[in-house]
Structure 1
Amino acid sequence: MKLRPLNKIWPGDNMERMLVSACLGLIPGAYYILIIKVLPELLDYGSAGYIFLQLLGMFLFSNLMSNFIMCVLVDPSIDPSTMGSPLEREKQPREWHECKKCDIWAPPRSHHCKICDVCVLKRDHHCNFTGCCVGHANYRYFFYFVIYMLISSLVAFIASLVFVYFLRGGSYKFVLLPFANGLYDVREVFNEKGELNVKELLKSVIPSQFEMVFAVLFGLNWVVLFSTICFLYQRWPILISGVTWYELRTKNFNYDRGLRLNLQMIFGSRMSLSWISPFISSPLPHDGIHWMSEDKDAGDGN
């Protein structure tokens, strides 16, 4: 496994820096709010359901962050020392192509990324949220990050709905709009003499710090849940057909090797265990370079 150089891990684009920082900050923040603030009100401390949700939250959070970090750290780019120079063109198969920017003769399915300024093996796309390209070497971590993001946002969405509308909605009059909260508590801002209590009025109209933070996270949860559903729906053929995003758009299914082998090309030979943790070794059954010759050999063997 080749890791990216330390000086290239942090993205140079300001928008990508903001998105990467948001992932590194909002995911732990949402986890803290849900586990520390929401979960104790959903279930009794120490109950079977409480322990289950706490363990589930720990599992999802650890996989979210670790797959995100591994996707950023693992280098999917081509090692120029293993590729031939353009002068060796006649020695390479016709499916290879010349990259003048990298000054190498690149293998099939690889493409040059203008942002990363490198050629990437089996390049799918450049992800702005990780600040790096997604390709042959880090495909596994990216897909698990997206899948666990979907599961986590769905669990958080359900828990938040119960928390807002069934618990805080009745007992604590928790609402997301501060002025609506003021209408609910309008009778509490007057004292016994009928005089207006400005302090109580402001307390009723202006939400607490926790309410504001929770409202922002709740709104973002909607966005993340909808976005990940759309993304996975759009990218699902990549898992099934073993194609990249570019190949999917151009309807190039020449590298489809069947469902099981296609999944192994992404999640590795130990894909039945790789979902547990990104630190579980699951070697890819291909070097990402000699696609045509090795695909034929593998197909004959199966």
Structure 2
Amino acid sequence: MTDRHLIVGAGPVGRHVAALLAERGSDVTVVTRSGRDTGIAGVAHAALDASDTDALTRAADGADVLYNCANPGDYTQWERAWPPLAAALLAAAERSGAVYAITGNLYPYGPVDGPMTEDLPDVATDHKAVLRTRLWADARQAFEQGRLRGAVEVRASDYMGPGIGANGHVSRVLPAALRGRAVTVMGRTDQPHTFTDVADVARTLVAAAEDPGSHGRTWHVPSNAPRTQAQALADVLAAAGRPRVRVRALRGPALAAAAVVSPLLREVRELIYQWERPYVLDDSSARARWGLEPTPWDEVCRRTAGL
């Protein structure tokens, strides 16, 4: 019998998960509001509002895994968008009997001293982190109470790879850098920071979803050795055959002033600690459990440059 998978969200992670599953012959459906075609051979598409619990439950009927690859488009509206969406996803997984596999991030840890491991507590207090913390805590509780057949969350650092656009700190400034223009990044340019390829997020998410022994906890996506923002951008430019550009830092009083008139920068400013100190992911648990290795850095840079 062919395994069946329902993916909510057609962003970079959702598309990579769909492509990975379709390539091996799984029955894959991608759900978005528009139902737009991802262009991936063998993948079906459905148009529905994933915050509609009944509609999502019907779509998930018979699915082995329900993948939460959603990413509400307006970063300033997470308080409005995430609670009903998260509630519907959890309810649909519970009602359908599907394993619930969540694409997470590192926000719940808050500021850290030293590499991030999965046993760090989710203690962040900024409002976006509180939302993400609640999403996983609710799913874990449902699993521990026996209401979910399986639940797991994989957490990655800032994305690289194709299709990231303005949602990635390197890809956001890349178009200007490719034209030889100086660029501005958030926080310091000289601190080591982990970057994660979206293809590796997809591989880890699928591996975790299909490994019952891994459920009930979070896992970190295998990622390459940390680079500074300036190094990561220079490496992508080199992969594209382009020279380095000047990299400016937006931080401190300048960021505070800009945030007064920019709702997006006000949101980003709450998370600026990620770029003011080393922000390094420990991925040893996932590597050991599934034998996964990150996409080689040179390839990550070529993929990010669109080559």
Q: TM-score range by the shorter chain?
A: under 0.3
Identify the structure with the greater strand proportion: 2
The structure number with the bigger radius of gyration is 1
